[in-house]
Amino acid sequence: MASSVTPPRGMRDFLPADKRRRDLILDRIRSTYRSFGFDEIETPVAEESDRLHAGLGGDNEKLAFAIMKRGITPEKLAAASEPLELADLGLRFDLTVPLARFYATHRATLPGVFRAIQIAPVWRAERPQKGRYRQFVQCDIDIIGEPGPMAEIELLSATSAVLDGLGLAGTTIRINDRRILVALLSHWGVPVDRFDHALVIVDKLDKVGVDGVVTELASIGVPVDGLAEALGELSGATWESVADADWLDAAAFADLVSLRDALPGARLEFDPTLVRGMGYYTGTIFEVAHPDFGYSLGGGGRYDGMIGRFLGVDVPAAGFSLGFERLVDLVELSGEGSGDGVVLLYDAGAEPAALVRLQHELAAHGTRVRLDRKAKNLKNQLAGLKEQGFESFATVSDSTATAADLSFRSLS
């Protein structure tokens, strides 16, 4: 029986046209972030298993792909009390944990305030569905070493510029602060030892609704009298409607207002129920929303405590991650079909050495050059070359011809 030729579930192949489009969008994201002073780094796809399961990644730790140790014997397999005992590495489930490890490793050679770009694939053992894959690309920017609001301002400003540059009209950035969430839980009478569990439940508000959240909170012993009404009011909260609320952490809210005022073009919306699932956030949190989608296009926040887990000394840090797979379906590229190369068509009797010489001559000037045998159905051949991203062609009939002798015609 022949094995399947399809990719693993939740992973995809990309044809040349799709890859070209993805690369064009990634180049726009990368160049915009670089223009805001961020520098790109690269980290390994795998990290130590203990690091990936250190309690920093929230529910994503449960979705990490493990890499088994070498030389596992039947005896070791039988002796293992849990699967992770058989793994020493794992595929990264996000880019933040690797960045924290990277900074701890290279801190001595990095600037005092380090602005990083990471654009790379990550892996999670998700249940595949629309917009959710097991291998996907994240586009992250992070600022490490800046304790003040300038870190958030730079992150939000650069990300807003990316969204605008991609033509994503209608996107907004929902914003909140962990301190506000803690104050809200205290106001609801949630015991301190259940804060983390309660936040996980509140984070499901968009999925299970007010009644679902109230039911789950009740199941962990949270008093829920009047809670449904309170949650309903918070779901439509605005900057103005909560400014004088008795449960509000005034200092945290003032910090958010200062961010909003510093970025009048960033379309920031205050959402006191925004949680974000990662347990490592310590302050500001944000999430990109689009009216056509029921899920976020990205998000981030401040995570001042993470790097200290590796370094032994706390270092302020904040980051923003865009989910590329969700963005790419929304982007319409102007000039997307334009070509960037030429094709040299030749007959069966053409001299290979002459063709290669012409290809080298043109490629030396930065031109993308394809050698293609002339087909009987020239019209279909030229249409196919246009779809593959080429802009012009020339027929080679003289083995002594130079690049200057060729007559190129447009494929448009």
CA distance 318 to 143: 6
Average pLDDT over residues 7-13: 94
Tell whether 64 is covered by a domain: no
Q: Mean pLDDT: which of 40-44, 123-127, 197-201, 311-315 is highest? A: 40-44
**Residues 403/357, Cβ–Cβ less than 8 Å:** no
**16-25, 56-65, 97-106, 161-170, range with the lowest pLDDT:** 56-65
CA–CA–CA angle 324, 310, 323 (5° rounding)? 5
Tell whether 4 is covered by a domain: no
Tell whether 187 is covered by a domain: no
Tell whether 170 is covered by a domain: no
| Residue 284: per-residue pLDDT | 97
- CB atoms near residue 249 (< 10 Å): 20
pLDDT at 321 over 50: yes
| Residue 277: per-residue pLDDT | 67
192-217 pLDDT, tens digit per residue, is 999 988 998 998 888 899 999 999 99
Confidence of residue 379 (pLDDT cuts 50, 70, 90): very high
**Count of structural domains within the chain:** 1
Question: To the nearest whole percent, how much of the chain has pLDDT over 90?
Answer: 68
CA 27, 29, 30, 35 dihedral sign is: positive
**Residue 389 belongs to domain with CATH number:** 3.40.50.800
Average pLDDT over residues 397-403: 89
Average pLDDT, the chain: 91
Closest CA to 310 of 54, 118, 49: 54
| Residue 292: per-residue pLDDT | 79
Tell whether 54 is covered by a domain: no
CA distance 350 to 318: 60
Tell whether 165 is covered by a domain: no
- The structure tokens listed for 262 are 């510093």
Question: To the nearest whole percent, how much of the chain has pLDDT over 70?
Answer: 98
| Residue 1: per-residue pLDDT | 55
Tell whether 188 is covered by a domain: no
Q: Which residues have C-beta within 8 Å of that of residue 181, sequence separation ≥ 6?
A: 199, 202, 272, 275
153-169 pLDDT, tens digit per residue, is 999 999 999 999 999 88
Confidence of residue 337 (pLDDT cuts 50, 70, 90): very low
| Residue 387: per-residue pLDDT | 87
CA distance 325 to 293: 13
Q: Using DSSP, state whether 298 is helix, strand or coil.
A: strand
Tell whether 353 is covered by a domain: yes
341-374 pLDDT, tens digit per residue, is 999 999 988 999 999 999 999 999 889 999 999 9
pLDDT at 182 over 90: yes
pLDDT at 336 over 80: no
**Residues 316/147, Cβ–Cβ less than 8 Å:** yes
Q: Which residues have C-beta within 8 Å of that of residue 170, sequence separation ≥ 6?
A: 290, 291, 292
Amino acid at 355: L
CA distance 320 to 117: 10
CA distance 86 to 77: 7
DSSP annotation string for 42-63: ---SEEEHHHHTSS-SGGGGGG
Write the secondary structure of 188-242 as one string of H (helix), E (strand) and C (coil): HCCCHHHHHHHHHHHCCHHHHHHHHHHHHHHHCCCCCCCHHHHHHHHHCCCHHHH
What is the domain extent for residue 375? 341-410
Average pLDDT over residues 108-118: 97
Confidence of residue 111 (pLDDT cuts 50, 70, 90): very high
Average pLDDT over residues 383-399: 91
**Residues 29/141, Cβ–Cβ less than 8 Å:** no
* Phi, psi at 172, each rounded to 5°: -130, 160
Buried b (16+ CB within 10 A) or exposed e, 357-391: bbbeebeeeeeebeebebeeeeeebbeebbebbbb
Q: Using DSSP, state whether 185 is helix, strand or coil.
A: helix
- The structure tokens listed for 11 are 């992973």
